A = this chain, B = another copy of it.
Amino acid sequence: MYTIVVYDTAAERNPAILRTCRQYLHHVQRSVFEGELSPAQLKRFRAAVEAGIDRSYDSVLVYTFPPGTTAVRQDWGVPQNAPDTIL
């Protein structure tokens, strides 16, 4: 399923979650990742994320969309990526 992840973690834990996100998803903004994950991959990704964060302090927002969802992503500031249909 299509997945968007945005993290807001303490600075000392940023490198670890950045590494974990890069293993599973594409980097689209400083703390934003997106990509297609199977249910099994999502489960492994979640376990890896939860092992690396302080769940009483850090926030990791995860949006999941069913297959076939269509969305448009734009960047109104620095064009890190061209406007694109992604899902």
Residues of A near any B CB (own CB < 8 A)? 4, 6-9, 28-32, 46, 49-50, 53-66, 69-78, 80, 86
Contacts and interface: CB of A to CB of B under 8 A. Distances in A.
Contact of A8 (B9, B31, B54, B74): B31
A30 B59 contact: yes
Taking the full assembly, how many copies of this chain does it contain?
A: 2
B69 A69 contact: yes
Nearest to A55: B77
Contact of A53 (B31, B73, B77): B77
A71 B64 contact: yes
Q: Closest 9 A-B residue pairs measured CB to CB? A: A58-B77, A60-B76, A59-B77, A60-B77, A8-B30, A62-B74, A65-B71, A59-B78, A64-B72
